[in-house]
Structure 1
């Protein structure tokens, strides 16, 4: 395909993944196309190959304007547990985008960045590794439901209109010192669980002063295995999927080779940094996202495993 003619719309462009994708795409000498960012309340840094359109993704006219002459869509726009806005973004916004795609003469491919929330994250037990054939199993809350509805809507447009769509299903996305902030008993913990709320305040403060980390245990009492992906690896997968022939109408799990093992992480941090751990019981279940399909069809490989993820976070650098 002629990458010079690619004109890519990025929704959710001001978010963690959106900004990283824009930087990665513009910094990749093999990517010669242009970008258009659909921004709502915030904006992105100017660049000669980047155009910005402001407005709401739930507004039909705004989406139609943003879609003019577009060849690809990287759909990242989402909201978390916000019942007031989530259907406008996840359903109405996606609907207008897909409607514009099927009517467009320039359109080539729609890339949805999904999430493992659509297959239950760590809320449900799975006897086998989770592959792309796993049935949708949203956990309680509107966010997980929205991820199921997004994947379902894209799949139906593939069925109804033979749309060229790709879903990259990503788990928890890490960058910088996110992992270090997650493995903290402080009140500024990144993500969930919020460890300091699970124990007495005095005990949490003591662990924090000692720089101890939580060793998360699953519902069976074993060290938790939880899916993660480094931001750089996800961006690499998105760039590969833009024009890869094998990405057409496919869903791919994009994750680390192995899930993040809290037991192995505790051992590595003790060995390399003399950081001690505290076992923390939870009701959650260990899971394993199978990434074989992305490796086989796309040739994608994650560069970040457990040790490199830890080294990047504790060194506060991107290795």
Structure 2
């Protein structure tokens, strides 16, 4: 068996590759990483194809001998690259892969942007049957189109596909800096977009922990997943016939309650909870299907996220880099 991984040098790919190569179930598998801007180091059973996913010849070389594909590559808010990378690239991969005599499974990593996470309102927990309602922007749109394209290749050509839909992926100290009120904030939206400048300055001086409140005035609830749990879900899906033709929500068992997060952070970092009003909506990405079908359960809960984030100390050679394009 041979697995092609796109986006192997990204946040998920960097954790996935060593986990896959060290997993006894895949000890006889080879891996090829299709890399563009940031190559990965080769090691036993791992080779690299350098080039753009939007180039047909590069994709053809990468697919040589491949039986399984794990598509992690994505671009964020880069409209000038969205069509080439997210749509043309996926189409080239699928079109080339479906002609392979040994093609067995194509796995797509998607995100809860396709259901709008905090930007769209749902009356019930979000399941795999909930309607897709992307928020504004090219990234969410391309993820919706990717999910639909993959499903259609399954319908049109009988391709075995699996889609794993994840919320905000955390690693290292990401969770800590997602709530940081300084310019070191990780992710968005930026605090200066939802907090008045004078109040934001006060909160920064007070060592505050922002407790976002949703449109109904309650502490916001939002989905998260630690990268280690996501990687375990990917491993559980690979060559798993129960996963063929299926979409799975890969999230924590419960969404993060921002008030509870603030209470826990106060214990470990002496931060004072402070309410921040927003127009966002609380949502629950239901992972019941993944737990039942894949036999997967996330290990890291809210307490684990906080403990890991506040205890992690970055080395000088481990800067926080957010790679949007490529």
TM-score range (shorter-chain normalised) is over 0.9
1:12 maps to which of 4, 7, 20: 7
1:187 maps to which of 183, 189, 192: 183
Q: Are positions 1:21 and 2:16 aligned together?
A: yes
**Does 134-143 or 232-241 show the bigger shift?**
134-143
2:231 maps to which of 235, 243, 250: 235
- Hey, what's the Cα distance between the residues in 2 that align with 1:88 and 1:202? 42
Q: Are the counterparts in 2 of residues 185 and 208 from structure 1 also a CA contact under 8 Å?
A: yes
2:307 maps to which of 277, 295, 311: 311
Matched residue of 1:85: which SS?
Answer: helix
Matched residue of 1:69: which SS?
Answer: coil
2:70 is aligned to: 74
2:102 is aligned to: 106
> In the TM superposition, what is the alpha-carbon distance from 1:210 to its structure 2 partner?
3.8
Q: Are the counterparts in 1 of residues 268 and 310 from structure 2 also a CA contact under 8 Å?
A: no
1:1-319 alignment, distance < 5 Å: 6-32=1-27, 33-201=29-197, 203-316=199-312
> In the TM superposition, what is the alpha-carbon distance from 1:46 to its structure 2 partner?
2.0
> TM-score, normalised to structure 2's length?
0.92
Q: Quick one: structure 1 residues 225 and 20, their matched pair in 2 at CA, closer, same or farther if it must change by over 3 Å?
A: same
For residues 207-228 of structure 1, give each alpha carbon's deviation from its aligned partner in whole angstroms, at most 9, with x where no partner exists.
3344321111111110000011
> In the TM superposition, what is the alpha-carbon distance from 1:26 to its structure 2 partner?
1.8
Matched residue of 1:80: which SS?
Answer: coil
**Does 230-239 or 210-219 show the bigger shift?**
210-219
Unaligned runs of 5+ in 1: 1-5
Q: Quick one: structure 1 residues 317 and 232, their matched pair in 2 at CA, closer, same or farther if it must change by over 3 Å?
A: farther
For residues 122-153 of structure 1, give each alpha carbon's deviation from its aligned partner in whole angstroms, at most 9, with x where no partner exists.
11110000000111111111111001000000
- Hey, what's the Cα distance between the residues in 1 that align with 2:259 and 2:225? 18
> TM-score, normalised to structure 1's length?
0.94
Matched residue of 2:87: which SS?
Answer: helix
Unaligned runs of 5+ in 2: 315-326
Q: Are the counterparts in 2 of residues 195 and 214 from structure 1 also a CA contact under 8 Å?
A: no
Cα-Cα RMSD: 1.5
1:3 is aligned to: none
Q: Quick one: structure 1 residues 107 and 22, their matched pair in 2 at CA, closer, same or farther if it must change by over 3 Å?
A: same
> In the TM superposition, what is the alpha-carbon distance from 1:266 to its structure 2 partner?
1.0
- Hey, what's the Cα distance between the residues in 1 that align with 2:85 and 2:266? 43
> In the TM superposition, what is the alpha-carbon distance from 1:199 to its structure 2 partner?
3.4
- Hey, what's the Cα distance between the residues in 2 that align with 1:51 and 1:273? 43
**Does 223-232 or 203-212 show the bigger shift?**
203-212
Number of corresponding residues: 313
- Hey, what's the Cα distance between the residues in 2 that align with 1:209 and 1:51? 50
Q: Are the counterparts in 2 of residues 186 and 204 from structure 1 also a CA contact under 8 Å?
A: no
> In the TM superposition, what is the alpha-carbon distance from 1:202 to its structure 2 partner?
5.6
Q: Are the counterparts in 1 of residues 221 and 284 from structure 2 also a CA contact under 8 Å?
A: yes
